Amino acid sequence: MEKKAVVVLADGFEEIEAVAPVDIMRRADIRVDVAGLDRKIVSSSRGLRIETDILFEELSDADALILPGGMPGAANLAGSGKVLNSIKNLYGKGRLIAAICASPAYVLIPSGILAGKKATGFPGTESMFRGIAEFISMPVVRDGNIITSRGAGTALEFSCSIAAYLAGAKKADDIRRSILIK
């Protein structure tokens, strides 16, 4: 059965953190839909406009929900009750929730799924994890069906970690070699 991932974009998203997972998932033969939070044309934090495949409200189900960071993108995702409910729902079904940069702190913490977990996020968000989750200063952290990452510079490793989770370690390693990731 084909795996399906959804990358959710809100205005102010970080470009690399959004596009890298789409690219790597497609290389791994995972279906990827890019969902716009409340419109089909979404603007990044640096003015790049991306036309999404679907609106977030059209999301029916997914094997993975991927949340790029960037500001105010992460705050915009966190401000959506639909996003927070989808995170809780998919997490409860054992589906992968992956967040990078500001999104682990600004989106996953309010969703409640990081309680008692190990996670990472953008430098400077460490205090937001106190009393909720154990902050680990590593590029990518996986705890069960949650993958978190630090920021734009870790976007490829984050994406390969998602590919390994969904398509297997061999597929992810093949992709790493093919695009020259050490």
Q: What's the pLDDT tens digit per position in 92-146?
A: 999 999 999 999 999 999 999 999 999 999 999 999 999 999 999 999 999 999 9
H or E element at residue 4: strand 4-9
Residue 160 annotated in active site: no
Is the N-terminal amide bond of 72 cis, ω within 30° of 0? Answer: yes
- Assess whether pLDDT exceeds 80 at residue 62: yes
Q: Can you tell me the distance from the alpha carbon of 182 to that of 157, in angstroms, rounded to the nearest whole number? A: 10
Percentage, residues of the chain above pLDDT 70: 99
**What are 33's strand-pairing partners?**
6
- Residues 20 and 159 sit within 8 Å (Cβ to Cβ): yes
**3-state SS class at 22:** helix
- Residues 56 and 83 sit within 8 Å (Cβ to Cβ): yes
Which amino acid is residue 83, in one-letter code?
V
Q: Can you tell me the distance from the alpha carbon of 164 to that of 109, in angstroms, rounded to the nearest whole number? A: 24
Please provide the average confidence, as pLDDT, over all residues in the chain. 97
Q: Can you tell me the distance from the alpha carbon of 67 to that of 6, in angstroms, rounded to the nearest whole number? A: 9
- Assess whether pLDDT exceeds 80 at residue 1: no
Domain that holds residue 150: 4-178
In degrees and rounded to multiples of 5, residue 16 shows phi and psi of -60, -40
The CATH number of residue 94's host domain is 3.40.50.880
**The overall pTM is greater than 0.85:** yes
Give the active site residue among 28, 101, 141, 152.
Answer: 101
Model confidence at 182, pLDDT cuts 50, 70, 90, reads confident
Number of domains in the chain: 1
Q: What is the largest CA-CA distance in the chain?
A: 41
